[in-house]
Structure 1
Amino acid sequence: MTTEEYIRDLFSGAPLLSLEQLAEVLHRSKDGLRISLSGDNEISRKFLPCKVRIGRRIYFRTADVAKVLEQG
């Protein structure tokens, strides 16, 4: 099972992850992840390219998140 398949299985096949779901995958708090993504650091440089805005909501592409996690 690939990382992408694992994440999709965890969240019922969702192609996009909410901030809360990404925080769960990374074993971080939602607020801690939000603060990390707002700064200029390694985590924000890795995960901001995965970001998609739909209206006012922010989501992260599951496939891109899986690639980032596999690369380390």
Structure 2
Amino acid sequence: MSIEKQLVEKYGPLLSLVDLSDLLKRSPDGLRIAMTGQSDFAKQWRKVRCKVGRRVYFRASEVAALIEAPAASNEG
């Protein structure tokens, strides 16, 4: 089963910040603070976020792509 399908099954098509922090094994506040910086980590994750009103969500398909990207680049 692909990572995307697993994420959608567990969290739905959009992950909240709390869902993403659970997935990345970080605290929600720590993840929120890490995303405010200018690091590569922050830039990558800010690209996949979407705001619905005042709430921030992350698309499961793009989260899966980010999770799979390092594995794909290490193979070659």
TM-score, normalisation: structure 2 = 0.86
Hey, what does 1:61 align to over in structure 2? 59
Structure 1: 4+ residue segments shifted above 3 A: none
Aligned residues: 70
Distance 1:69 1:8 in 2: 14
**Gap runs ≥5 in structure 1:** none
Identity within the alignment, %: 37
Cα deviation, 1:27-66, whole Å, max 9, x if unaligned, reads: 1110110010000112111111111111111111110010
CA RMSD of aligned residues (A): 0.8
Q: Does 1:7 align with 2:33?
A: no
Q: Does 1:25 align with 2:26?
A: no
Distance 2:7 2:69 in 1: 15
Report the alpha carbon displacement of residue 8 of structure 1 after superposing the two structures with TM: 1.4
**Gap runs ≥5 in structure 2:** 71-76
Q: Which of the pair has more CA radius of gyration?
A: 2
